[in-house]
Structure 1
Amino acid sequence: MCDDLIYKPQFSSQDVEILQQQTLYRGFVQVESVTLRHRLFATRQFSANIHREIVRRREAAGVFVHDPHLKKFLLIEQFRAGAMNLADTPWQLEIIAGLIDAGEDAETCLKREALEEAGCHIEQLQFVSRYHPSTGASDEIFNFYVATADLSHCGGIHGEVSENEDIKVHLFDYEQLEALCQQGYFRNAPLIIAMQWFQLFLIQHEKT
């Protein structure tokens, strides 16, 4: 590891004290009430007691799939309850994604989800990043991958009926990316991050 680090955290998890923890709800997600205190930047002393509610979710993974031969990329569209308050539509364009099952790794999860959500076979996955979508109130971790695939036979409506999924597959040309960005329908973090990766990918390949 490089000794000349640009940034190094001042504190670690050892600088947080959990004083009380209670499960408020347990369902598809789990909600916990936590009382804690943590060290302060200026004094390194502990703060006053802080009360927070945390949504706990299983780790998730997502994959952006494109076809360099056809110069097309794949997105899916489905209804999302969390977007119901949007004025125009609660249906979201997304990358293929899902929760990682017990005993499953991220790549196995994504190969399964690609078949379920898009009828798409993917083999080689490239890991890009692992991040928290919203640390203010959730402990969810999202693993982002990229994959290439033959998209010549992908399309239609997919999803697991037992999970009430109704998913439409969209194929777009590489050259449509900029116009899609300008339309304003990229509205969730995994998709926006994937599109930023893809823009860099296209720029790099224009130079070669």
Structure 2
Amino acid sequence: MHSVMTLSGDPDDLSLLRSRFSPPDNEVPAAVGVSGVIARSDDVAILLVGLARYTAGLQIDLAIRRRLDPDEQDPMHMTYNAGLLVGVELADGRTVVSGYGYGYGDRSTAPAAGEPVLTHRNGGGGGREWSSSLWLTPAPPPGDLVVVVAAPNLGVDESAVTVPAEALRAAAGKTEVLWPREPDRVHDAVPPPTPDVPPGSWFARALSG
């Protein structure tokens, strides 16, 4: 059974929810010295561009590179994450897959504080390249971390890279907290202004209702 938190106007709730879906904004992360090709086919490569260690987790930066220009209907440009499957296996055996379970679609709830979450934060590109940034929280337990990727729609089979425990430990000691994080300010919802539409039109009737 999962424990969830419902989004409310409580600043503590907002701060907790923010921490589950994005890195701390009051910290300078430390680079984890691991990068390279995770998986590839003859025409496509999936790269681990870098890892950034925060006190609360890891930012994982990935990229897709292609040998040939794609056509207009290429599947890589038809999904928000370019069809890239990403998962993580922690040293204690727990696993989490980005885009499934918590953090997928509905962000009005969050898992229990100790439960791992892996979310796509942003991504984009075009032509022969695509970049994607993910957030893993909480900070992984001591030990090796395994990052698993696959892109079935691009013909790239499942493959994995192991991030050594020593690299993670060394980076953890270099993360800098700039200042204690202040509570989030709670803002009342502001309804959008009513658009200017012709009187008696369909939109006027629909909006008045």
- Same fold flag (TM > 0.5): no
- TM-score, length of structure 1 as denominator length: 0.27
- TM-score, length of structure 2 as denominator length: 0.27
Q: Bigger relative contact order, structure 1 or 2, given CA contacts below 8 A and separation 6+?
A: 2
